[in-house]
Structure 1
Amino acid sequence: MTNPNCNEKAIDIFLKLSPYFQGLGDPVRQQIVALLIDKESMNVTQIAEHIPMSRPTVSHHLKILKQAGLLQVQKKGTEMYYRLEITEAIGLFKQLVMFVEEECYPNE
């Protein structure tokens, strides 16, 4: 039997995760995140070399990822460099998985 409070707590965690889901909700943005996983940082030109889209389109996707809280931007000279900032998102995903496993389905 599941805990009746599971629904409320799960919804609370999902609400906190919502910006990350929205940011990751497009295959191009998923590609960008995958590209940046093992990189210190990259500028738009470097990212666009790996993504089959124009620089303005890549910039648009970077803006959405930044607004979602998944990227940090650092200006170096005239270039903007992007790096992943996913610590908080990973923590929330872990919290959701652990909560569901431990509280909602403890014997499975």
Structure 2
Amino acid sequence: MGQKAIDTFRACIPLFQALSDPYRQDIILLLAEQEPLTVNQITENLTLSRPAVSHHLKILRDQHLVSLEQKGTQRFYSLELDNATVLLKELVQTVENQCE
């Protein structure tokens, strides 16, 4: 495996870690169905406490998987998958080109 493939794979590790948690997967699926949502709306659809949902949303935000928009006192979360999609496509393409 070439250095570019290794570097690209390593760049994807935080994304893989964020996506590996079932609760974060549930949040992503929920937002895919009905975005934007507040923390309270997300909490109503999960078996987690509000602080736990906020914690998972922070991890997803840190990996640029969700975005946050402030409207007055409300904070709305939406999917933001562009960066992750580009990174994963780069990984697949690099692996295909360098690991044949």
Q: Does TM, scored on the shorter chain, surpass 0.5?
A: yes
Using the alignment, how far apart are the partners of 1:7 and 1:102 within structure 2?
A: 10
Question: What residue in structure 2 maps to residue 33 of structure 1?
Answer: 28
**Does the 8 Å contact 2:5/2:98 carry over to 1?**
no
CA drift at 1:66: 0.9
Check the 8 A contact 2:37/2:77 in 1, yes or no.
yes
* Residue aligning to 1:82: 77
The equivalent position to 1:54 in structure 2, one of 43, 49, 68, is 49
For structure 1, the 5+ residue unaligned runs are 1-5
Identity over aligned pairs, percent: 47
CA distance in 2, matches of 1:14, 1:37: 26
Q: Give CA deviations for 1:9-32 in whole Å, capped at 9, x if unaligned.
A: 221112221221222231111111
Query: Which 10-residue stretch deviates more, 75-84 or 6-15?
Result: 6-15
Normalized against structure 2, the TM-score is what?
0.87
Give the unaligned 5+ runs of structure 2: none
2-side partners of 1:14 and 1:98: how far apart? 11
Letter in 2 for 1:43: T
TM-score (normalizing by structure 1):
0.81
Q: CA RMSD in A?
A: 1.5
The reply on whether 1:66 has 2:61 as its aligned counterpart is: yes
Divergent runs of 4+, >3 A: none
Specify the alignment match of 1:14 in structure 2: 9
More helix by share: 2
**1:101 aligned to 2:76?**
no
